[in-house]
Amino acid sequence: MLERGSQRLDRAANRGLERAYPPLRRASSAAAPAARRAWRAAAPVRAFLVLLGRRALWLLYKGLALGERGTRTVLRWAVRAATALSAVVTPRRALAATIVA
């Protein structure tokens, strides 16, 4: 019983894959020129990274770390500002400002 169900499921999956193949093939051949253009456009960057070698990875990760640190700092400031603002703008004051506006 379990084996028959497994075989049915396998056949259904194969049919789905067979149906999906032609559209995927067309999509890949349609995307190929754009991929070639992107590959050519990235050639200077690739050449630069080859020249740098391991140092490029070090620079990449250093840049990511600095970006993360900067993001955390900005978010920390935003949380502090929101906390300070929430002390000033109470629900009653917000309602009054809405009515006045």
Question: Tens digits of per-residue pLDDT, 14-39?
Answer: 888 888 888 888 888 888 898 899 88
Total-model pTM: 0.39
- Please give the Cα distance from 12 to 48 (Å, whole number): 49
- Please give the Cα distance from 75 to 80 (Å, whole number): 9
- Please give the Cα distance from 31 to 25 (Å, whole number): 10
- Please give the Cα distance from 86 to 94 (Å, whole number): 10
Question: Tens digits of per-residue pLDDT, 56-91?
Answer: 778 888 989 999 999 999 999 999 988 887 777 777
93: tokens are 């004051």
45: tokens are 């960057």
pLDDT score recorded for residue 98: 81
Report the 3 state secondary structure along 1-43.
CHHHHHHHHHHHHHHHHHHHHHHHHHHHHHHHHHHHHHHHHCH
